[in-house]
Amino acid sequence: MGRTGTAKWKRVRDQALANALDAGLTRCPLCRTGLDWTRSRQPNSPEVDHVVPHSKGGLDVIENTRVICRLCNGRLGGALTKRERPIVKPTELESSPIW
């Protein structure tokens, strides 16, 4: 299970969604699209995002979250830039294959 499946993250995520719903958040703060609170996994479904990503030292705390649409979250999605991606060298065969 990935980091986003931890019990702590699930509690923080649920609290962030409840806070946003209680506050009357109806539009994504990034792209201004209307949020669909009735269906999940839609481009305009609300999702919780880390303000400071884990890769930059962000923590799974309510203060480090914001609710944005699924489409914006996917665009941001913690995707690594080319400079941040580790260089993976191909492994060499220890011996020559026997044909």
pLDDT for res 88: 44
CA torsion 67-82-84-55 (nearest 10°) is: 10
* Contact present, 68 and 30 (Cβ < 8 Å): yes
Residues 6+ apart with CB under 8 A from 13: 48, 65
pLDDT of residue 95: 53
From first to last of the 99 residues of the chain, give the pLDDT tens digit: 456 578 999 999 999 999 999 999 999 999 999 999 999 999 999 999 999 988 899 999 999 999 999 999 999 865 544 444 444 444 444 555 555
Q: Which two tokens stand for residue 45?
A: 């479904």
CA atoms of 23 and 76, how far apart (whole Å) = 24
Prediction pTM value: 0.73
Q: Which residues contact 45 (CB under 8 A, 6 or more apart)?
A: 35, 36, 37, 39, 69, 70
Q: What pLDDT is recorded for position 44?
A: 96
- pLDDT confidence of residue 55: 85
Contact indicator for 60, 6 with CB cutoff of 8 Å: yes
